[in-house]
Structure 1
Amino acid sequence: MAEFHWHHYSAEESLKKLNVSPAGLSSEEIPERMEKYGRNTLPSAKKLTLFRIILNQFLSPLIYVLLVAAVVSIVLKEYSDAGFIIIVLLINAIIGAFQEWKAEAKASALEQMIKLKVRVKRDGRSFVIDGEDLVPGDIVILESGNKIPADIRIIRENNLTAEEAILTGESLAIDKISEPLEEENIPVAERFNMLFAGTTISTGRGTGLVIATGKDTEIGKIASSLKELSIGKAPLVKRMEKFTKRISTIILIAVILLGVLGYYSGIPIKEIFFFAVAVAVSAIPEGLPIAMTVALSIGASRMAKRNVIIRKLTAVEGLGSCTFIATDKTGTLTVDQQTARAIVLPDKQIFSLTGEGYNGEGKIKDENDSEINFEATNDLRKIISSITICNEGELFKSNSDWSYSGDPIDVALLSIAYKGNSSPKELLQNIEKISEIPFESERQYAAVYYKENGQLKIAYKGAVEKLRPKINEEQYRELLEESVRYAQDGYRIIAVGGGDVDEVKPVDELPEMEFLGFIALIDPLRPQAKPAVEDCYRAGVQVAMITGDHPETALSIAKEIGIAKGPDELISGNELEEIIAGGEDNFREILKTKYVYSRVSPHQKQLIVKALRESGHFIAVTGDGVNDAPALKTANIGVAMGYGTDVAKDTASIILSDNNFASIAAGIEEGRFTYSNLRKIIYLLISTGAAELLSIGMALIAGLPLPFLPVQLLWLNLVTNGIQDVALAFEAGEKKVMTQKPRKPDESIFDPLMIKQTLVSASVISMLAFGLWYHLLNNLNYEESTARNLILLLMVLLQNFHALNARSETRSAFRIPLSNNYILIIGILAAQGIHILALHIPFMQELLSLDPVTGGEWIKLFFTATIILVAMEIFKLFHRKRGDNSN
């Protein structure tokens, strides 16, 4: 079947090919064909089960390290250590699974595109059946508003048009015919005698032959091909893998050095081994997985408030890393609703129209920007009456909602009556329609003969050049030039005619009539789109438009929104095909200067995305149709529209619930905020962990006992510091992130700035802890347990103050409003409060070897701990003066 070019053969030959008569299949044939072709369902992505989502939370290098640490702790009978780690892993899995399950539930709630009812002819009679029960050979009866259930060869049609944007990218309805086409190898978008699964009938009626169902449809082929595509890892995953390897190596080296120092300090080898393992387990930042998951969950929640639904948590940060956005035009940059913007009369008087979309909200304004009604001039009344009479659409207000049906252009024209303080019903009161000429692409016009007060008249709408106007040639030529200017600016021009006639002419013969003017329509830009594009450019993100629309329309919109400056940045699908044939290197070179791609096929869109990725871009791609799915999967970040097809949504990692480009820019900002907060969390955990190891190392070198027990280190990492690092995830974003260049996907988390900060802060903290340890034991002759109790409290206080340092890598802690993160302030107080409670609870005293401290001791330690805040303020001041803001 795949080799048979259905569009090239007549309806009779197509019926013969499938061995079916115009009366339809017989009931006896259905089971056999169902067995041969299968049910009419699309291949769909396997939905994730709750168990699989939970299991995914454990698939991380850092989690693997923690699992190994837990097992080693159990083997060494360090059950408290193992218990701590297992609790961390479970909390992390619960938080992450809940967030992803919630996102998956939102995505899965969308209906399957092909599940619908359809009217068929079988056994010579008409039946309504489930779309899933269709088989090749079925005769389908179609009418306006129907969603197409399968690929169909049109047998008969009457004013049939179809909206095929989800498959071809073409935003306007396509005129359909039943005659065979001459060429065999033509793109899907040009097979005008075919209808395709998932598209919609805009106007008219027809009868068609089902020629492909399920996976054999054009949509099904695309959905099946997605299984062969593989997607790369998110930047965060790559960074965390690199980070985990490095931190594991550093900890291993540190533990070996501590073991060597312990050996030369006279500690028995058996004790050194147990201690080394315990320190290794304790030194791993156990709180990081929870803090990361919380930070990503918060980012996902913040994005959801800005209409960005995250299906996989790592995509939160991934969107913030993108360097290139390839966006659709229709419905993303524009509102996807044809809107009348201007009425131009024969005397070149121009009236503007406000409002947008398929509703009657808005006004008619004259050249002085004054509001007028439809009777302001006789010529204005005539043109509005004519487009209302010659119209097959419907637009009316029910309660507070607008309802519409029919061709989008007809609906947009009907809205003008309402904007002129009238209504189609009022304008049609004394009208008796006599004869109608429906719009066909060959004619390029529609007309209606009607009677008003007994006088025969005509109303015309369509192409300017098809009208026979009663107007002098000079005036007509000037009007044509004006219409061309509008067309070059991306407007669709509808010429309007009318007036008295003597008789009803044959269908293909028009009488002379009065030229009433023309209407300029456009799919208007979303008001937020242009500022959003500007935001992306400021953030170092390049934006390109990939659309199935006409080159002039695409370029006009791109210039208005700021994506392109001129035709040199535009390239069409036909030009792309020639360039692709010239080789990949040449293709990638051409793409460097092109930002508007028009009349692009799904395969070409995928190749563009692939080439941009190979050029080093981290690319986000938007799409709503099945035709977009391969490109969405090839992209680093696939962004599906909320109104789009299930295939697109299943493929994407992000869904825009409002279909608005501005939401992508908002998502980039939130993604950068999230990554910035992740860096803050990692900085806090690693610097305090390094300080603990340095304190232990200095104690061993000085021949002193260990300042911390392994269980105390776990307490610091998981409980006191663990509260603060999670609280850092709630930090409000710093607006400067949208003025910085995107991070390279392979960039390490530990850039030079973080390395310097970590070394300085870890050194200050460790020296303060070791200095007090040395002073308590050697100068004040404290008992080890008493001194250790004070050192642990000092470390908690140091972590409290250091959490304030971590709020920004460059700004002073005193310049960041507390209102940016009240949760952190509460977290710091909670961490300190929990530790003070532990000092007084018998069970915790025994577990952690703690004793209460006096108020005086606490105050001394409090002021000692402020040194870390002062030290890092000096570091940041020095850093700012150098002008080094790489963070």
Structure 2
Amino acid sequence: MTTPGTPPVTAHPPALTRPEGLTSAEVAERVSRGEVNRLGERTSRSIGEIVRANVLTRFNAILGGLFALVLVTGSFADGLFGIVLVVNSAIGIVQEYLAKRKLDRLALLNAPTTRVVRDGEVRVVPTTDVVRDDLIELRTGDEVPADGTLLASAGLELNEANLTGESDPVAHDVGDDIRSGTSVVAGSGRFHASQVGADAYVNRIASDARKFTRTHSEIQESINTLLTYITWVIVAALPIAIWSQWRTVGDQGWREVVIRSAAGVVGLVPEGLVLLTSVAFLLSAVQLTRRNVLVQQLPAVEGLARVDVVCLDKTGTLTAGEIAYEDAHLLDGQDVDEIRCALGALADDPNANGTLTAVAAAVGSPGWQRTQTIPFNSARKWSGACFAERSTWVLGAPEVLLAADPQPSPPEVIDAIRAQVAEMAASGRRVVLLARSDEHLTDATLPADLTPAALVTLTEQVRPDAKETLAYFAAQDVAIKVVSGDNPVTVAAVARTVGLEVGEPVDARTLPDDPDVLRQVLATHTVFGRVTPEQKRAFVHALQADGHVVAMTGDGVNDALALKDADIGVAMGNGAQATKAVAELVLLDGRFSHLPDVIAEGRRVIGNVERVANLFVAKNAMSLVAILAAAVITVPFPFLPRHLTLVSAVTIGIPAFFLALGPNRRRYLPGFLGRILRFAVPSGAVAGLAVIASYLWAGRGYGVPSEEFAGRCTVDASARTVADVACWQPGSGATITLLTVFFWILVVLARPFRPWKAALVAAMVGLAVTAFVWPVAARFFNLDAPLPLLWQSLAVGAVGAGLVEAIYRLSPSVRNAHHLRD
């Protein structure tokens, strides 16, 4: 069977259809020719890309140009921001490289594998090591790694939704063409790989359904928007700064104009914002790997923190995913030995599903000769087999088998069996029906003479951490929707044992396809049973249409489509390859209890990046206001670049690094960018106005008279030092004021305070004081503040700090965002 509109699969030469597969020499020959199943896809950027991404940025270009201009003036101290620029880029490169190594190694360890026959033996190799003409063995749950033609098929059914959009499984027999990008939902088979890597059909089509859709990141979108705004502000402010400084200090020479203009523009550049945002994402991903969580897309860490609905399956999440055979309850006087043999014969299947595997562990095989197999599939919800000189036996969901039409058993018998099933399921057991028939199965159609023979009960082990995990979600206002293919009563019983408010469980077969009706049902119910793969996907869409951010967990092939369409897909590490391929997060040890860790990491990233962004944007707003005010009142820009380097280091750069990586349990609140602008812009404007006021006030009583300024306060061309210490005083006063206001902004953003934050702020204040009192540092930074100037500058700063506090208290959204922080 071929996919409509696709090119034919290349036929194999007869020599390559031998059952022992390729030899090692033939594999090596194909590897040397490049006929390997690799696309060159990487889990992270190359080293060259990392360097370019951290060095060749628009703001590095602006700062680099200003750095070169300042160096031309000979004032090397004012070029200190250039060293910060280099250090920032270096930190970003090193951090991303270390994270890349860690994530690449982990991705390699968890890479998908494929069974191939080589030298007559079945071997498991990385899917990327499959070569052209390899003999590939497929089993239930596998993803087809290449294109080829089936040489053997035992009830093989493929989910071809990635290629055709049709979610119904498609049966394939010997001679049929199969394509990469599909997955095995039932049966087994073998085929030769005729097209691999870039030549495989799924890799040639433009809309490859297996490729990741980029996870939405509010942080990244907001930061990019912010950087766009700031770029235009710089473009507009640069000529204003140059023009105003030429008017005010132009008589002192071009060097003074360049230095003062550079100081204003440097303050407009958020040089560390992108770095710290990237580092926060990367380190979160690395931190989660230590908890056995593989992050396949970095923004997924943030995305899970925004989730308000988690859809999960019962099996593998609430329960351990392993079921155990309990008992067979005979119906209508069936023979116990025959029933036990029939169960053993059905379970003696190399492609047994979980139910048959549990039966096989408890019931031995009678050695019956199997003549036909209909493998289990999640859409049919039953499997069956025919045996030589014996009855046909079918095992499946009671409600499906009992609904077979015509039904030879009397209605009252069927009703009694249904009541018995309901009673067993209510206790949390999994119940399947064993039925017999005298007809021979020829296709996946239930025989007309199907007769119930026994009810088989199995038990599941509830995960010991499930109750605690669900309690965490409830405390965080995250809704839980249990969507399972099992009996809804059984699912509800398990859900109750882990503390969920179940209400009335819903049989998904009774639900219509209308999305609006689904939205209403999902809003009022928690547990859904007998959910098909298509319905899981529809549930995700309905919840998203209702404005929810949805996470979907799963481990089976039937979960893959829902995982792909959910905002965040979470796959279990022991799940099917097709499921892990589309998930943003993989729980490597299959423990659902890791999700709170991921949410905590996401919240830490969101909250801390917001803090950091506020600091940088406040500095940008301060510089813009100071530039415009200096231009309007025709005064020199209050600072030299070295002053802003000092202020940025102790109030923004160093604290931001620690705050970005510190703990933060604040719940997610939408409106990331809006909150930043509502607090940082007015706070920065207050700082800018306070700086200008302090500079003007200091200029009235400190420094040198304006008529002497040009002659005494110029840069000495030979010594490159300021000629008179008195010239430093107005700028020193403005620096003190700016430090005071920005330290208070830091205090506000660090709330609620913890001892480590208090120690951080105290250390930064100590560094700032050292710059004033240590003679070497004071001379380097051109700082001199007599005691009266110190007190008046602190007074202006205190007024500015008070206004910042008022802005914070008058902004409910900003204050509420701080309320639930660490």
What interval of TM-score do these two structures reach, taking the shorter chain for normalisation? 0.5 to 0.7
Task: Give CA deviations for 1:504-555 in whole Å, capped at 9, x if unaligned.
Answer: x99999xx9996653156797983698389659936x89796x9x6998999
Indicate the residue corresponding to 1:482 in structure 2.
420
The aligned amino acid for 1:479 is I
- Of 272, 275, 285, which aligns to 2:260? 275
Distance 1:514 1:413 in 2: 18
Q: How many positions carry a matched residue from both structures?
A: 754
The aligned amino acid for 2:260 is F
Distance 1:617 1:68 in 2: 46
Task: Give CA deviations for 1:413-448 in whole Å, capped at 9, x if unaligned.
Answer: 467x6xxxxxx7xxx8xxx95756688339956799
Shift of 1:210: 3.4
2:53 aligned with 1:56: yes
1:571-586 paired onto structure 2 within 5 Å = none
Indicate the residue corresponding to 1:352 in structure 2.
none
Task: Give CA deviations for 1:122-162 in whole Å, capped at 9, x if unaligned.
Answer: xxxx56688767766x87788999998767776667xx577
Shift of 1:681: 1.6
2:476 aligned with 1:493: no
**Helix, strand or coil at the partner of 2:52:** helix
**Helix, strand or coil at the partner of 1:538:** coil
1:434-449 paired onto structure 2 within 5 Å = 435=368, 440-441=373-374
Structure 1 residues 393 and 128, CA gap change in structure 2 (3 angstroms): closer
Distance 1:293 1:385 in 2: 60
Indicate the residue corresponding to 2:719 in structure 1.
none
Shift of 1:392: 4.9
2:176 aligned with 1:191: no
- Of 190, 210, 214, which aligns to 2:196? 214
Contact 1:621 1:637 (8 Å CA) reproduced: yes
Contact 2:540 2:562 (8 Å CA) reproduced: yes
**Helix, strand or coil at the partner of 1:41:** coil
2:754 aligned with 1:818: yes
Structure 1 residues 53 and 608, CA gap change in structure 2 (3 angstroms): farther
Indicate the residue corresponding to 2:224 in structure 1.
241
Distance 2:392 2:779 in 1: 94
Indicate the residue corresponding to 1:409 in structure 2.
355
Shift of 1:725: 1.9
1:744-755 paired onto structure 2 within 5 Å = 748=674, 750-755=676-681
**Helix, strand or coil at the partner of 2:457:** strand
Task: Give CA deviations for 1:95-120 in whole Å, capped at 9, x if unaligned.
Answer: 34433443333223333423x44167
Distance 2:5 2:222 in 1: 50
Distance 2:16 2:816 in 1: 78
Contact 1:118 1:149 (8 Å CA) reproduced: no
The aligned amino acid for 2:726 is E
- Of 766, 781, 787, which aligns to 1:848? 781
Indicate the residue corresponding to 2:99 in structure 1.
99
Distance 1:156 1:725 in 2: 61
Structure 1 residues 759 and 446, CA gap change in structure 2 (3 angstroms): same
Contact 2:22 2:135 (8 Å CA) reproduced: no
Shift of 1:593: 6.4
Structure 1 residues 185 and 342, CA gap change in structure 2 (3 angstroms): same
Indicate the residue corresponding to 1:177 in structure 2.
none
Task: Give CA deviations for 1:783-802 in whole Å, capped at 9, x if unaligned.
Answer: 23245445434543443333
Shift of 1:276: 1.8
Contact 1:202 1:406 (8 Å CA) reproduced: no
Contact 2:142 2:183 (8 Å CA) reproduced: yes
Indicate the residue corresponding to 2:611 in structure 1.
680
Distance 1:222 1:527 in 2: 42
Contact 1:70 1:86 (8 Å CA) reproduced: no
Structure 1 residues 332 and 494, CA gap change in structure 2 (3 angstroms): closer
2:749 aligned with 1:806: yes
Indicate the residue corresponding to 1:172 in structure 2.
none
**Helix, strand or coil at the partner of 1:519:** strand
Shift of 1:710: 2.0
Contact 1:222 1:626 (8 Å CA) reproduced: no
Distance 1:52 1:519 in 2: 57
Indicate the residue corresponding to 1:250 in structure 2.
233
- Of 639, 654, 658, which aligns to 1:708? 639
1:362-511 paired onto structure 2 within 5 Å = 392=347, 407-413=353-359, 435=368, 440-441=373-374, 462=395, 478-483=416-421, 493-495=431-433
Task: Give CA deviations for 1:484-514 in whole Å, capped at 9, x if unaligned.
Answer: 677899976334699xxxxxx99999xx999
Distance 2:257 2:482 in 1: 61
Contact 2:554 2:563 (8 Å CA) reproduced: yes
Distance 1:569 1:778 in 2: 87
Indicate the residue corresponding to 2:270 in structure 1.
285
Distance 1:654 1:59 in 2: 30
**Helix, strand or coil at the partner of 2:87:** helix
Task: Give CA deviations for 1:695-733 in whole Å, capped at 9, x if unaligned.
Answer: 676677667665422221122113553112222224532
Task: Give CA deviations for 1:446-496 in whole Å, capped at 9, x if unaligned.
Answer: 7999xxxxxxx99998467799xxx99967751344326778999763346
Contact 1:802 1:869 (8 Å CA) reproduced: yes
Task: Give CA deviations for 1:338-393 in whole Å, capped at 9, x if unaligned.
Answer: 52597584699xxxxxxxxxxxxxxxxxxxxxxxxxxxxxx9x9999879966757
Structure 1: which 5+ runs fail to align? 7-13, 121-125, 170-183, 349-378, 395-403, 418-423, 450-456, 499-504, 577-587, 808-812
1:580-595 paired onto structure 2 within 5 Å = none
Indicate the residue corresponding to 1:830 in structure 2.
763
The aligned amino acid for 2:262 is V
2:663 aligned with 1:732: yes
Structure 1 residues 267 and 241, CA gap change in structure 2 (3 angstroms): same
Indicate the residue corresponding to 1:519 in structure 2.
457
Distance 1:801 1:441 in 2: 72
Structure 1 residues 2 and 858, CA gap change in structure 2 (3 angstroms): same
Shift of 1:26: 11
2:37 aligned with 1:41: yes
Shift of 1:191: 0.8
Distance 1:302 1:771 in 2: 50
**Helix, strand or coil at the partner of 2:766:** helix
Task: Give CA deviations for 1:242-267 in whole Å, capped at 9, x if unaligned.
Answer: 21232233345555555555455574
Structure 2: which 5+ runs fail to align? 376-381, 442-446, 523-527, 706-723
Higher mean C-alpha deviation, range 231-240 or range 768-777? 768-777
Distance 1:413 1:316 in 2: 40
Indicate the residue corresponding to 1:110 in structure 2.
110
**Helix, strand or coil at the partner of 2:271:** coil
Distance 1:724 1:762 in 2: 21
- Of 460, 470, 473, which aligns to 1:531? 470
Shift of 1:861: 7.2
- Of 315, 321, 332, which aligns to 1:337? 321
Superposition TM-score, scaled by structure 1 size = 0.63
Shift of 1:609: 8.7
**Helix, strand or coil at the partner of 1:337:** strand
Contact 2:703 2:728 (8 Å CA) reproduced: no
Contact 1:642 1:658 (8 Å CA) reproduced: yes
Shift of 1:92: 3.0
**Helix, strand or coil at the partner of 1:111:** coil
Distance 1:664 1:735 in 2: 16
Shift of 1:678: 1.8
Indicate the residue corresponding to 1:360 in structure 2.
none
Shift of 1:280: 0.8
Superposition TM-score, scaled by structure 2 size = 0.67
The root-mean-square deviation of aligned C-alpha atoms, in Å, is 6.7
Distance 1:296 1:837 in 2: 34
Structure 1 residues 858 and 729, CA gap change in structure 2 (3 angstroms): farther
Shift of 1:804: 1.0
Contact 1:390 1:459 (8 Å CA) reproduced: no
